[in-house]
Amino acid sequence: MIIKKIGTYLFAAMSLFLWMSISFADDRLRYYDEINPGNDFTLTDQNGEIFSLKENRGKITLLFFGYLSCPDVCPVTMSKISRVYSLLTSQEIKNLQTVFISVDTSRDTPEKMKEYLEFFSMDAVGLVGDKQLVDKIVADYMAWYEKVKVTSSLGYLINHTSYIYLIDQKGRVRYLFRSGEDIKHMAETIRVVLNE
């Protein structure tokens, strides 16, 4: 009888923990209507062609801000997204697009972006543009960046937002993945939005 009661309490505790975990995930999976309310932007991709977010209607978009000379956050983010892709089915991948927006408007070009993206095994769009355009998009996504002077030959590094924005099939921001996010959780969240 005692063992049975302990088992019942243990099951209840595990159920509560699971419910709390799901509730927490659900709290973050919502409509962020205040972020990019126009649900669109236009920049130049790595092939020198015009890209608009609305072209991705019907697909999930993983968007993040960075720059090609970034020594840590950007390559780690790209590698993480590549690993997320490995957890998805081929059909799910067909309905997913990664978009990398450069905030280094002085140095990054379509040609350099194309070369950079070839290091990662996934279909990604890299976007560049003039400072005015990029700054507007950064502001629309409530993101930020700042140049930091360094003594190396680079001249400066850029501190920037590290969120990965999950954008749904209608261009609406639904989730903000943090830098330390588990890839399994990312894949499952993408799957949930794909199946809505």
pLDDT in tens, 105-161: 999 999 999 999 999 988 899 999 999 999 999 999 999 999 999 999 999 999 999
Residue 101: domain span? 32-194
Comparing 17 with 99, the larger pLDDT belongs to 99
Residue 58 sits in the same domain as residue 118: yes
Say which residues have a Cβ less than 8 Å from residue 85's Cβ, sequence separation at least 6: 93, 96, 121, 122
Residue 11 sits in the same domain as residue 93: no
Residue 91 sits in the same domain as residue 119: yes
Residue 40 sits in the same domain as residue 12: no
Domain count, the chain: 2
Residue 47 sits in the same domain as residue 130: yes
Report the CATH number that the domain containing residue 187 is assigned in CATH. 3.40.30.10
Residue 95 sits in the same domain as residue 76: yes
Residue 11 sits in the same domain as residue 99: no
Residue 83 sits in the same domain as residue 136: yes
Q: What is the mean pLDDT of the chain?
A: 89
Q: How far apart are CA 48 and CA 32, in angstroms?
A: 31
Residue 130 sits in the same domain as residue 69: yes
Residue 17 sits in the same domain as residue 1: yes
Q: Are 128 and 153 in contact (CB under 8 A)?
A: no
Residue 167 sits in the same domain as residue 115: yes
pTM for this predicted structure: 0.85
Helix extents (H) in the chain: 2-28, 73-86, 90-94, 110-117, 131-140, 183-194
